Amino acid sequence: MGAVRVIRVAVNVASHTPRLAAASVAFRNVLNEAPIKHRPATGVRLFSGIDGSAVLDVPRGLDKLAEQISQPVLWAACLEGCVEAGASSFLELGPGQGLARMAASAYPHIPARSLEDFRTLQASAHG
């Protein structure tokens, strides 16, 4: 298939793959019981992880949220949507720093940090 290098990757959970289709269905059922607003609050912009589109209809957004358990997440499309909506910084909640690094690489002019970069939650609000 054209690979230059092949290595084993330590994967413990088949996240974002069809192997978790049943988990998507179960999670959507749980979301059915959650109290929701039918539109995001004013000034809040939500993006779907599976396609990067803006979530304007919350019930459909919940469908997409559940689907992302068993489908690939298109982070690049989400970042692009954030930038187009005027994002001035990115804060990855974790775990890890991979998404913050991806944001920093794609948009070096926009500050991108991970919660792990800070000693306390309060420090992240100032940093």
- What HEC string does the chain produce? CCCCCCCCCCCCCCCCCHHHHHHHHHHHHHHHCCCCCCCCCCCCCCECCCCCCECCCHHHHHHHHHHCCCCCCCHHHHHHHHHHCCCCCEEECCCCCHHHHHHHHHCCCCCEEEHHHCCCHHHHHHC
pLDDT in tens, the chain (127 residues): 788 999 988 877 788 899 999 999 999 999 999 988 777 778 888 889 999 998 888 888 999 999 999 999 998 999 999 999 999 999 888 778 888 999 999 999 999 999 888 877 777 777 6
Structure confidence at residue 1 (pLDDT): 78
Phi/psi of residue 43, each to 5°? Answer: 85, -5
Q: Cα dihedral sign for 97, 99, 105, 108?
A: negative
pLDDT at 25: 97
**Where do the structural domains in the chain lie, given as residue ranges?**
14-76, 88-127
pLDDT of residue 127: 62
